[in-house]
Structure 1
Amino acid sequence: MSDLEGRYRLLLRLYPDDYRRVRGEEMLGTYLDLTPPGRRWPSAADAADLVAGAVRERLRAAGAGGLLPGVRLAAVLAFVTATALSGLWAGAEQIVDPADRSVPAVGPFVSVGIVVWSAWLLAGAVDALAPVRWTRLAIIVALLLTVAVVPVADLAGLPRPPLFHLVPQATLGLLALALPASRSRWHRTVPLVAALGAGLTAGPVLSGRGTWNYRFDDGGILLTYAGVALLVTAVLVAAVLSLRGETRGLWATLVLFAPVGLLGLYVLSAMARDLLGSGPSTFAVIAGTAAAVVVGATGSLGAAVATCRRAPTSVTALDPARAVAQPCPTCGR
């Protein structure tokens, strides 16, 4: 056995044993036939395909085959929310009255956050015009700027968006990386339309409220409203899809628990502060609340998968020999 074959076999061990007994040799032969001579290691694309296929098959064996389609649906809803918020905050960044310097400013804007929100708006524009791989690249750039703005602004002594806004934005962006490639042109324009609509309608109204800007308390409330809107949308979509016998909407709702909770982090941390009887929300209270949100969301998703494992519904999971009738998730045959 060559080194290349051994490494492919090692990757195939990620698949469930029953599935590997039925499909393993066929998949191995396909990969070896398509590999150029002289290669000793599987390509990055092949390794990614095998890992993704193994995850799909393990979820299918656990009766949670709808989880990955649910993640892709959640990614669409998360990206629309992220771009809409970026349009809102980009509009609110503008200082309508140049003579009003009651708050710190960076040129004609309230903070350096305009760079971050512009990057997310650009990601929405790329999604409407280019293939999904370019959208993912634009999202990665926006994510890097979202993270980098904190140390850069602090070192330069410039005003920046608070973590209440940046953390949920980054969480939505991470989930948006799972955007499906097979979306219609109309669907791909929705994030950009949502961003432009939020910026044109809400931005001027908010930025004209005297000394108000999105760094103050109102912004936390608006984020909570956005989280509630995202959750309600996910529940409605799940209800409609359930009527058609699809479970991906239910999984999408579970996946969105973490970003929805982080969108409400301002309110949740204030509630935790009141419960603990402490003063203003300290970093420890905020960090603890955020950790509780992530752990709770992850736990609920894990519990759902465990429940499916105890009561499998997949024919393949009940009878692995029937897997031959199913198309291979990697080669499609």
Structure 2
Amino acid sequence: MSPLERRYRRLLRLLPATHRTARGEELLGLLLDLDHGRRHPSRHETLNIIALAIRLRLTTPVTTAALTTGLGALLVAASTQPAGQTLDLFTGAVLATDMPDVIASWPQMVVLGLLPLAPLIAWLGGANRTAFTLQAIFLTVIVGWFVIDVLGGADMGINPGQQLFAYATPVLILVLLAIAARERWTAPRPRLFWWALVPLGILAWKGTGEWGRHGVYVPAAVPTVIGILTAATVAVGAAFAVRRHRTVVIIGVGLTGFVAGWLIPDPLLSNTAMQHFDGQPLPLAILVTVIAAAITGISHLARRHNPEARSLSPDEPEMR
């Protein structure tokens, strides 16, 4: 085996196993012909393989389900935030002496609170391109306001790290919506569960507004509990993934999962969860993702144990 072939075989391991089995040798022969006489893969072909690997792995059923669930959770958390804060504004966040000014401008406040729900509703309704366009418009407006404030001299006391963290969620949503429009993703199921999250998300932001005014503290034991749950989840997943040396794999992966689950949530909780009451949607998105994954798993198990439902297509209604 030549050095070029050996290096190309390493690169081709980035592709999914099914694709390597079906077309791996054919693709390898084509690459060797294109780079004949070289000892290292060319930069152009290397980038093409990496791009192909990313595209193929994004289209696998498991990856698609995970990304659509994450996208839905981010949209729920971010899109319901303005509506929830607007609801909180009229139900306790403002002193009675200041309420006349708020009531006088209620039409504008209600409209500004409800408009960010548009990308979420478009995504749940199956209009991926519309959701992407609306999210791009909202992100442009947010960034535009920030730039205008900075140019106007209102940048005193602004923390660049917090600003980047605040823009990370809408930018990530925009990227995922672009992929969803290109790959024609559909909103995750069950749809009724995701539609119910719209009013529930608004109420959650109202509730966190109430709690935030009285102070909320993350218990010190939470990182340890999350570490134990992470270790158990990773160990169970490893047990199903491997066939040999299961005991060693479970212990090793379990300990690694515990350390990661204990170290990572500590700064995440202290720096992110407390900021949830300052307008950070990421913790709520994580909570929605966990709940959605549990609902999806229960729904999948129910279909496996129900022959009639299993024989129907996902879009076909079940006759009773």
TM-score, normalised with respect to structure 1:
0.39
1 or 2 for the larger relative contact order (CA 8 Å, sep ≥6)? Answer: 1
Larger proportion of helix: 2
Q: Which has the larger radius of gyration?
A: 2
